[in-house]
Structure 1
Amino acid sequence: MKSYKFKVNENGYTVNIKSHEDNIINLEVNGTSYAVVMKEEIKKTKTPTLVRAASKRPSEPLKVNPTSSKTTIVAPIPGVVLSIDVAVGDSLKVGDRMLVLEAMKMENNIVCEKAGTITAIKVSVGQQVLQNEVMIELG
């Protein structure tokens, strides 16, 4: 299996590991065979697994008040604005894409959830936004 060379007190040793099962290792030192019993079983190293704790509160859906005259579109997650597909004065219907937000190397389309006209755009392309930051206002 594996071969090692050691030098102890100016004496050379060649150690060949023949087999390893549970806590018994069969090896050969300078041509002489030995069976070595380990006191403890050798633990196999594992790649650590990162575990993310569950959120304490449920995610909040975008709340749109249908009777309100002004609606704000906020960032659902922190990210970078990749593109803005609307301009002030544009009339939108439900489902129209307003902008693309990149978060965690994924592109997220932010769509209109209430028909209306764009009254203000509070972000620009390349800008970083935080969660719940106002990006667009509809009137």
Structure 2
Amino acid sequence: MKDYSLKINGQNYDVQIDKVNETSTIAHVIVNGTPYEVEIAGAKGSVSTKPQVAPAPPEADSAQITPVTAVPSPRVAASAPASGYAVKCPLPGTVLSIKVAVGDKIAAGQTLVVLEAMKMENNIDADRAGVVKEILVQQGATVMEGDKLVVIG
């Protein structure tokens, strides 16, 4: 419902447009407390239908469905991870920076990757000491929960 204060020929009117029927040219209006059913001159009634969504066939694999407007995120070419412990992404986000390089010796608790998620910067830390064997993402990549980020050997 929309409320309006109108002044017509010096006379004040309080108007409430209560309901407009989209399939016709009729509107329900209240002027200074008196209800009216008003026909909108020049308007054309239209019948709008909601789009119907059909369920995907059972054999469809939703993991392979990509929206047409999707822009692929920059990623390092997929390769079999080196033997070692993979640090996984705890929540979906965007890689802001990578704080280590392949071959770096790291300590438990050291920040490996800075991830932007839910408009916050999150440090992804190593939970064990070791040597960085492989980095599986690059700056600017969009990552999902469970994606492997860094392999520690």
Q: TM-score, normalised by structure 2?
A: 0.49
Which structure features the higher share of strand residues?
A: 1
Q: Which position in structure 2 is the counterpart of 1:77?
A: 91
Partner residue in 2 for 1:14: 11
Aligned-pair Cα RMSD in Å: 2.5
How many Å separate the matches in 2 of 1:70 and 1:138? 5
**1:13 Cα deviation after fit:** 5.8
Q: How many Å apart are 1:117 and its aligned residue?
A: 1.1
Counterpart in 2 of 1:93?
107
Q: Percent identity?
A: 40
Question: Within the alignment, does 1:132 sit opposite 2:146 as a pair?
Answer: yes
**Which letter does structure 2 place at the counterpart of 1:91?**
K
What is the match of residue 5 of structure 1? 7
Quote the Cα distance in structure 2 between the aligned partners of 1:124 and 1:3. 58
Matched residue type, 1:96:
Q
Deviation at 1:102, TM superposition (A): 0.9
Amino acid at match of 1:117: V
Does the alignment pair 1:118 with 2:120?
Answer: no
- For residues 98 and 110 of structure 2, the distance between their equivalents in structure 1, rounded to whole angstroms, comes to 12
Shift of 1:80: 1.1
> Alpha carbons of 1:3 and 1:78: their partners in 2 closer, same or farther (altered >3 Å)?
closer
Task: State the distance in 1 between where 2:5 and 2:132 align.
Answer: 74
Q: How many positions carry a matched residue from both structures?
A: 86
* Aligned partner of residue 15 in structure 1, secondary structure: strand
Task: Give the Cα–Cα distance (whole angstroms) in 2 for the partners of residues 101 and 109 of structure 1.
Answer: 6
What is the DSSP-based 3-state SS (H/G/I as helix, E as strand, rest coil) of the residue aligned with 2:91? coil
* 1:102 partnered with 2:116: yes
Question: SS state of the match for residue 119, structure 1?
Answer: strand
TM (norm. structure 1) is 0.53
Residue 7 of structure 2 aligns with an amino acid whose one-letter code is K
Please list every run of 5 or more consecutive structure 1 residues that lacks an aligned counterpart in the other structure: 7-11, 18-33, 39-68
CA distance in 1 between counterparts of 2:125 and 2:5 reads: 64
Report which of the two structures shows the higher radius of gyration computed on alpha carbons. 1
